[in-house]
A and B are shown apart, each in its own frame.
Chain A
Amino acid sequence: MARVVLEVRDITKRFGGLVAVRDMVFDVHHNEVMGIIGPNGSGKSTMINMISGAFAPSAGAIRLNGQEIAGKSAHRIARQGVARTFQLVRLLPELSVVENVVAGAAFGHRKRWGAEAERHARQLLDRVGMGQQVNMPVSSLTYINTKRVELARALACEPEVLLLDEWLAGLNPTELQTGIALIRSLRDEGRTVILVEHVMDAIRSLCDRCVVMSSGAKIAEGTPAEVLEDPEVIRAYLGADEDA
């Protein structure tokens, strides 16, 4: 099997009395798309936030290519090669589309600046399917295009690991097919991706492996087919549905 890029070991996050993530353990291998799934509030975003350095874990270790990153500040972790998108899209409203992507290229893992950064940004925008609108203000973009720009920004630093927190959420059925195809093409390029997702079709067709979280803890791990048949996983999802 390919080398391990990211190791998560016994990671726990407490918010006051609430344990949002409990003793999480998993590995992400090079060129792998790894899914994190689970009902609402099960701790998926919190896990992403700890890997990217938005929060420091309460306990445990996270290693990127063997180096400890748990608890480091977000900008250090970004420079070491972790890039992310956000569950609620975050673009830079006063910057043009292409500047939004240059923002991802200028300070991160592989730094580019000036004409080179701009060329790189345009290539990426082309890559995610919006080569036409690079000089538009971001306020004029459709929802799926804001997601594309955010993805291009995350790709711009050539990350070691790309974290996508529900990147496909909120797309209509046609857009969803486009979105899935786009992420699949990233996978085919050999990128290492952690995908937090609720859309089952996407999980089945995109993930090499998944971990399933429920109430902050890992309840299953394996291929999408394996985990989606696991009785405990089914119970967790059905239970969540009954609560809702």
Chain B
Amino acid sequence: MSMRDLRNLALSALAFGVLALLPLYVSGYILSIATTMAMFTVLATSWALFSGPTHYISLATAAFFGLGTFVTGLGFQTLPMWLLPIIAAGLGAVLAALVGLVTLRLSGVYFVIFTLGLAELVRQVVTWVQNRTGQRGMYVLTSITERDIYWQLLGMAALVFLVGWLIARSRLGFALRIIGNDETVAKHSGIDTAAAKILLFMVSGAAAAVVGAMMAPRYIYIEPSTAFASILSFQVVIMALLGGTGRLWGPLAGVVPFTLLWEFISRNAPNQTLLLLGIAFLLIVYVLPGGFVGLYDRLRHRYGQGGQ
């Protein structure tokens, strides 16, 4: 490990420490925004672990997230709370593996469409099961407070950053970069491209399911149409791309401003949130390819180290 790694690690630990103290000082309103940010940080960062290097755009976040909320909804009365995210992670990984086996041999466009359909499919299945059993939604009434959820998500964010950092230094991470550059070259260099992509998709699916499981108590009432809402998938994609997937911290740089803007708009003009999504999307495509990370790298290249 180099000095730079150590420094980054120490700084990250410090940042997480400071963030962990946040609930002790801020109001409930700010805490709720911070919780949303923590949620999107985990979702967007883990999304980018897979989609960044492979350039496969997944719209399946809502499917994994919804799965996680249902794990908590169904299990919180009978199982210990700490077990629920673990079960959610396992189920998320299995679902991701299944989806991966079916779709990752397909080209990018088919993958996008399939993953978008997946959330809808899972939602329909859950609704069907509920109708059969005469159930409607579920109440998740627990003693878990917003603070607890915030801390859990923060811990999860730390874990995702750690995993992402480890993957980037591993042969798996290198394999994914090669796949993203040229899949044909990857195969002919001995990389099992399908296995590598499925593995990473499982990591990202498991993380999203865990977030769902952690967030469930916050919603109190869970029903398929909200748990599997596909808007979540789009938000995650936009935030990750806005920040940039070229670096581990990229999605975070998109999550913070986007969540604040989203909050501001939904308070003042609740009907205009979709407009925000659209504008952010155009901004990414036309002005910020590579997101804030790309911009940062270009500026640094022009004025900083690159120029010397």
List residues of chain A with CB under 8 Å of any chain B CB: 52-54, 73-75, 78-79, 83-84, 86, 90-95, 102-104, 106-109, 111, 113, 153, 157
Find out whether the CB atom of B188 lies under 8 angstroms from the CB atom of A107.
no
Find out whether the CB atom of A92 lies under 8 angstroms from the CB atom of B178.
yes
Which residues of chain B have C-beta atoms less than 8 A from A54's C-beta? 184, 187-188
List residues of chain B with CB under 8 Å of any chain A CB: 171, 174-175, 177-178, 180-182, 184-193
Q: How far is the CB of B210 from chain A (nearest CB, A)?
A: 30
Which residues of chain A have C-beta atoms less than 8 A from B178's C-beta? 92, 95, 103
C-alpha spacing A48/B120, complex, angstroms:
44
Given A54-B188, A78-B187, 14 other A-B residues pairs in contact with their CB atoms under 8 A: A52-B188, A54-B187, A73-B187, A74-B188, A75-B186, A75-B191, A79-B190, A90-B182, A90-B185, A94-B177, A103-B174, A104-B189, A106-B171, A107-B190
Given the known interface contacts A90-B184, A106-B171, A113-B171, the answer about A95 and B177 at a Cβ–Cβ threshold of 8 Å is yes
Looking at chain B's contact residues, the main secondary structure is helix
Given the known interface contacts A106-B174, A113-B171, the answer about A78 and B185 at a Cβ–Cβ threshold of 8 Å is no
The 28 listed contacts between A and B (C-beta, < 8 Å) are: A54-B184, A75-B186, A75-B187, A78-B189, A78-B190, A83-B188, A86-B184, A90-B184, A90-B185, A92-B177, A92-B182, A94-B177, A94-B180, A95-B178, A103-B174, A103-B186, A104-B189, A106-B171, A107-B171, A107-B189, A107-B190, A107-B191, A108-B190, A109-B190, A111-B190, A113-B171, A153-B185, A153-B189
Which residues of chain A have C-beta atoms less than 8 A from B193's C-beta? 75
C-alpha spacing A102/B173, complex, angstroms:
13
Which residues of chain B have C-beta atoms less than 8 A from A91's C-beta? 182, 185
Which residues of chain A have C-beta atoms less than 8 A from B175's C-beta? 106-107
Given the known interface contacts A90-B182, A90-B184, the answer about A108 and B189 at a Cβ–Cβ threshold of 8 Å is yes
Which residues of chain B have C-beta atoms less than 8 A from A92's C-beta? 177-178, 181-182, 185
C-alpha spacing A78/B97, complex, angstroms:
25
Find out whether the CB atom of B185 lies under 8 angstroms from the CB atom of A75.
no
Q: How far is the CB of B110 from chain A (nearest CB, A)?
A: 20
Find out whether the CB atom of A84 lies under 8 angstroms from the CB atom of B188.
yes
Find out whether the CB atom of B188 lies under 8 angstroms from the CB atom of A78.
yes
C-alpha spacing A94/B246, complex, angstroms:
11
Q: Which 4 A-B pairs have the closest CB atoms?
A: A107-B190, A78-B190, A108-B190, A92-B181
Q: How far is the CB of A85 from chain B (nearest CB, A)?
A: 9
C-alpha spacing A34/B182, complex, angstroms:
28
Which residues of chain A have C-beta atoms less than 8 A from B188's C-beta? 52-54, 74-75, 78, 83-84
Which residues of chain B have C-beta atoms less than 8 A from A113's C-beta? 171
Which residues of chain B have C-beta atoms less than 8 A from A84's C-beta? 188
**Minimum CB distance partner of A79 in chain B:** B190
**Minimum CB distance partner of A73 in chain B:** B187
Q: How far is the CB of B18 from chain A (nearest CB, A)?
A: 34
